[in-house]
């Protein structure tokens, strides 16, 4: 059966229910989580996120007041602690210029928001789209590894990197912010279930489907 992006989302939602993504209590926790998850697994990232929770309660002003050494100590369980510490400092310093007024930031940058995010240290394509979708309520398709694996299984070819899929997946006006957030969560939860190993996909409710982009 041929699926569009919207009908794929709707089928996954029917079969799996709401994903509840991104699991966090504040936008600041999502920001820290998105930076910590880079090049590691959730177990390691969660340890660093827990450190920030204990030390700052994710209060953005408290995070901006941390010294380099303090941030590095909090980040260390997630690996790449020097680079990720620089990213935390860069992102929160930038947000502080706008007093952490996320709607104002989106309004200020408009269609240039993604480009502005990509200029920040440690923010690549995937993290920029996560921030757009979960922090700035600007729905984007997050073409992460699970999405590329799923779409390959659904007959979409030549997905060698993030941009190779992202540029082909523009969420139409039918997608609300909540739907875009949920779609990303559903894809990642699906991947955790059916891609370890990837041969388990044959047992999934999407086996035999094809995606039309």
pLDDT, tens digit, 9 for 90 and up, residues 164-201: 999 999 898 999 999 999 999 999 999 999 999 999 99
For residue 41, report the phi and psi dihedrals to the nearest 5 degrees. Answer: -105, 170
Residue 198 belongs to domain spanning = 2-20+140-211
Q: What is the pLDDT of residues 40-68, one digit of tens each?
A: 998 999 999 999 999 999 999 999 999 99
42 and 74 inside one domain: yes
Measured at the CA of 141, the angle between CA 9 and CA 101, to 5 degrees, comes to 120
Give the domain CATH number at 111: 1.10.340.30
> What pLDDT, on the 0 to 100 scale, is given for residue 172?
87
Cα gap 78→88, rounded to integer Å: 13
> What pLDDT, on the 0 to 100 scale, is given for residue 11?
98
74 and 116 inside one domain: yes
Task: Identify whether 22 is preceded by a cis peptide bond (ω within 30 of 0).
Answer: yes
Measured at the CA of 135, the angle between CA 194 and CA 3, to 5 degrees, comes to 40
Q: What is the pLDDT of residues 88-135, one digit of tens each?
A: 999 999 999 999 999 999 999 999 999 999 999 999 999 999 999 999
Cα gap 70→126, rounded to integer Å: 26
159 and 128 inside one domain: no
81 and 128 inside one domain: yes
Q: Is the pLDDT confidence value at 14 over 90?
A: yes
> What pLDDT, on the 0 to 100 scale, is given for residue 60?
97
| Domain C-terminal end among 134, 161, 185 | 134
38 and 122 inside one domain: yes
6 and 79 inside one domain: no
77 and 157 inside one domain: no
122 and 40 inside one domain: yes
pLDDT band, residue 28 (cuts 50/70/90): very high
116 and 153 inside one domain: no
Q: Dihedral of CA 75/81/84/89: which sign?
A: positive
Instruction: Decide: 13 and 100 in contact? Cβ < 8 Å.
Output: no
206 and 183 inside one domain: yes
| Domain C-terminal end among 134, 167, 198 | 134
| Domain C-terminal end among 134, 161, 184 | 134
Total domains in the fold of the chain: 2
91 and 179 inside one domain: no
Q: Is the pLDDT confidence value at 1 over 80?
A: no
Instruction: Decide: 132 and 138 in contact? Cβ < 8 Å.
Output: yes
15 and 52 inside one domain: no
């Amino acid at each position: 059966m041929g699926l569009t992006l919207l009908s794929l989302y709707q089928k996954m939602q029917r079969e799996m229910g709401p994903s509840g993504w991104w699991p966090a209590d504040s936008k600041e926790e999502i920001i820290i989580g998105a930076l910590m998850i880079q090049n590691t697994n959730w177990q390691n990232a969660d340890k660093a996120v827990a450190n920030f929770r204990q030390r700052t309660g994710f209060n953005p002003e408290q995070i901006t007041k941390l010294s380099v050494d303090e941030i590095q100590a909090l980040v260390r369980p997630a690996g790449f602690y020097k680079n990720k510490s620089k990213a935390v400092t860069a992102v929160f310093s930038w947000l502080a210029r706008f007093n952490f007024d996320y709607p104002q930031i989106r309004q200020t940058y408009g269609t240039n928001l993604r480009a502005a995010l990509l200029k920040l240290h440690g923010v690549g394509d995937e993290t920029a789209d996560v921030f757009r979708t979960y922090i700035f309520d600007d729905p984007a398709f997050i073409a992460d590894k699970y999405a590329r694996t799923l779409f390959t299984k659904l007959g979409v070819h030549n997905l060698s990197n993030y941009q190779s899929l992202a540029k082909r997946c523009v969420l139409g006006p039918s997608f609300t912010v909540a739907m875009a957030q949920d779609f990303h969560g559903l894809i990642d939860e699906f991947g955790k279930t059916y891609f370890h190993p990837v041969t388990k996909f044959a047992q999934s409710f999407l086996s035999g489907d094809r995606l039309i982009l």
